[in-house]
Structure 1
Amino acid sequence: MTEHYAYLPHRLLRRRVRDIASGAEGELMAVINEDVSADPARRHWATPAYIRGSSGREFTTAMDNVRPA
């Protein structure tokens, strides 16, 4: 992958979900595979989920923390 991020398809996109780490709920807006490497020679990838809460503000969490609401 030459980009530093890529959007990933997910079955819960645009559905109501819960972040089990915080207990917050909202709509899953995006799942991204993101290069968070400090050193380009040693790549490290993260997969954050972007959730829009009822206030309209989005927050992120690890995709492993997302469950259907």
Structure 2
Amino acid sequence: RLSGGEALVDSSHGGHMPQADVLHGELNVLSENFFQKCQQLNRAEQSSKNRDVELELKQRDLEQLQRENK
């Protein structure tokens, strides 16, 4: 749109600008990439949390063994 709210129209393409279609396609690709990255980040975060829990359990086991060994 132009500054006055007036839309750009290309009458040779049925009133639609091909650039708008290209931009819409690019937006879809970027949206899908963003979604995939979010899923990847969520999986990494969950994996990290799982490792933290495992580490905490191992530390407790180690502390218990150290107490028993004294």
Q: Which has the higher contact order (CA 8 A, sep 6+)?
A: 1
More strand by share: 1
- TM-score between the two structures when normalised by the length of structure 2: 0.20
Higher helix share: 2
Larger Rg: 2
